[in-house]
Structure 1
Amino acid sequence: MILSCKFSKSYQKKITDLDEAMESLKALFVFIEDHFSFFSSMISKQKTSIFREGMLKIIKKAIQKQIDMQGINQNMDKELIINYTASAFVGTVEWWILNQMPHSPQTMAEQLADLFKRNNIFDSTKPAVKTKLP
């Protein structure tokens, strides 16, 4: 189901600035918000591992394309960073859903994009203009 949202198209390419990352993340959170009943049901059921594993696979692939192994990541194991970041992201999405979406998709996208930037998950060679998303 996630593969049908706008995010799935953007995760297939390298994102080069913070604004583009926030737009992509916002698209994912809006999609989840629009399909809240489905996602809430998937997480609250006992067979959530299938959903979680599918989401992890998608997010790992996206992070693998985005990660910058220079700077703070230079001496780190790439697979470890990918798995750690993807697990944190999926856990955050689960938390957001289970807590009745306490933040807007825009807020979630902005804050997660900032966390990704801090951890060199996407190339931030272009200066990012921090703007609120529509």
Structure 2
Amino acid sequence: MPKVDRRILKTQEALKKAVIELMYEKNFDDITIQDISDRANVSRGTIYLHYMDKYDLLDKLIENHIHELRNICVSTADMDFINGTLVCTEYLEHNYSFFSMMLASKGAPYFRNRFLDFLIEEFRNEIDVTKGKNQGLDEDVIVRFVASSYVGVVEWWCKNDKPIPHHVLAEQLGILLERNL
């Protein structure tokens, strides 16, 4: 894989930061390329060198976070739910401005669905309906229940400005996952 120029990475990070900051101020549909350009201190042409439009920029930003969460799930596959969830909530804490914007506002409504789809995919591997407490239950119902609950709790955490520390959130989510999966 070729090495990416640090200037390109710096520009892309400035653009991603700019769009998140602007979404705190106004609806995504009202944000213009010029707004992003001004906030990131780059020319409009520079934006188009990296992204097709503002929707492509937002999509790449979302995809990057989903990719990082997927990597976290892979790296924590051998951990119990509490410790694995701790790594995930540390990521949420570190990227709080993004997640709070995406989940606590109407700025990018389709992020919630992308996040939910990602969790459904991840939790599907954890379900066993052939034995134990989930025996005889429909796998899709269980997976959607757990994933929707997880998204709902993270959404609550973001909307309420982190009412509990991320490690407490991780512990409680981990316990709930152990009970339901």
C-alpha distance in structure 2 between counterparts of 1:22 and 1:117, whole Å: 8
Displacement over 3 Å in runs of 4+: 12-17
Aligned AA (1:42):
M
Q: TM-score, normalization: structure 1?
A: 0.76
Instruction: Report the 3-state secondary structure (helix = DSSP H, G, I; strand = E; otherwise coil) of the residue aligned with 1:66.
Output: coil
Q: TM-score, normalization: structure 2?
A: 0.58
Cα displacement string for residues 24-79 of structure 1 (whole angstroms, at most 9, x for unaligned residues): 21122111111222222212332443110110011111110111222111010000
For 2:109, the equivalent position in structure 1 comes to 49
C-alpha distance in structure 1 between counterparts of 2:176 and 2:87, whole Å: 17
Q: Which structure's CA Rg is the greater one? A: 2
**Greater helix share, structure number:** 2
C-alpha distance in structure 1 between counterparts of 2:76 and 2:90, whole Å: 21
For 1:118, the equivalent position in structure 2 comes to 179
For 1:3, the equivalent position in structure 2 comes to 66
Cα displacement string for residues 89-129 of structure 1 (whole angstroms, at most 9, x for unaligned residues): 0000000011111111211111111111111x2xxxxxxxx
Query: Among the aligned pairs, what percent are the same residue?
Result: 28
Structure 1, 40-49 or 22-31: larger mean CA deviation: 40-49
1:1-134 superposed matches below 5 A: 1-5=64-68, 7-12=69-74, 15=77, 18=80, 21-69=81-129, 70-119=131-180, 121=181
- CA drift of 1:22 comes to 2.0
Gaps of 5+ in 1: 122-134
What number of residue pairs does the alignment pair up?
117
C-alpha distance in structure 2 between counterparts of 1:74 and 1:10, whole Å: 29
Q: CA RMSD in A?
A: 2.1
